[in-house]
Structure 1
Amino acid sequence: MKILVVDDELDVQFLFEQRFRREIRSGELSFAFAHSGEEALNYLSQHPSEIILILSDINMPGMSGLELLRKIREHYPSPPPKIMMITAYGDVDTFNQAMSYGADDFLTKPLDFGGLKDKLNTTVGT
């Protein structure tokens, strides 16, 4: 399964590669990383059917994760990738907005990687 992680924090790539090293090594999972919404849309335009799941931070400079979510749902309606939004702010308004734009799930920082692995297994069936 190919996962696109969108987050402006540069250490996120290292964290994911460490936490999922066994799954990456076995070929169960592979990751691509984008550090902005614009970079994520560019990646998706070049690899339209490759990504199965997108994990996107909400609060990023430039295009927010919510705006990215809205654009992905508009431009990639079929097959839609699963999209999980990630934020440090677990407020109800942000949650409701993410869900209204078509998010499949909502995660809060700091990420619980054990819980994320469980969600990946049940959401996409790795």
Structure 2
Amino acid sequence: MKAQILVVDDESDMEVLFRQQFRRDLSAGRFGLEFASSGSQALQLIETSAGDDIILLLSDVNMPGMNGFELLSKTKAARPELPVIIISAYGDAETRRRSLANGAEELLPKPIDFAALRADLERRLERREVRP
């Protein structure tokens, strides 16, 4: 069962950016990237049986329809153990407070610090490998 990271963002260039940043990991099969362009599409992926492979959800805040905070709340109701990191162009204190208060592990400001994200993913993958 390959670990999947689910990225939710309505900006199509985010998929290209993530695939470029993690191309070596993807080609080595270390993990996979799933992309959803809306909160409702992400929930469908989370709620399917394949959702068990998702080890991390990265979600933008500002999206049409369901925003990132609504997705966070619904994700925590469906899969409370699934870690969520909110991504936002607005790294202000109120967005951080709201993210953490609603169950996000952290707020990742845009532009994304991919070195920090890579280190976080490494820790998650190592913990996953250690489990029996």
What is the percentage of aligned positions where both structures have the same residue? 43
Residues in 1 aligned to 2:87 and 2:41: alpha-carbon distance in whole angstroms: 17
Q: Which residue matches 1:89?
A: 90
AA at the equivalent of 1:121: E
Q: Return the offset for 1:48.
A: 3.0
Q: Which residue matches 2:102?
A: 101
Q: Which runs of 5+ in 1 are unaligned?
A: none
- Tell me the TM-score normalized by structure 1: 0.92
Cα root mean square deviation, aligned: 1.1
Find 1:10's aligned residue among 5, 12, 19.
Answer: 12
AA at the equivalent of 2:12: L
- Structure with more helix by fraction: 2
Residues in 1 aligned to 2:119 and 2:110: alpha-carbon distance in whole angstroms: 16
Matched, 1:59 2:62: yes
- Residue pairs, 1:19-58, within 5 angstroms: 19-46=21-48, 47-58=50-61
AA at the equivalent of 1:96: R
Q: Which has the higher contact order (CA 8 A, sep 6+)?
A: 1
Q: Which runs of 5+ in 2 are unaligned?
A: 127-132
Q: Return the offset for 1:125.
A: 3.2
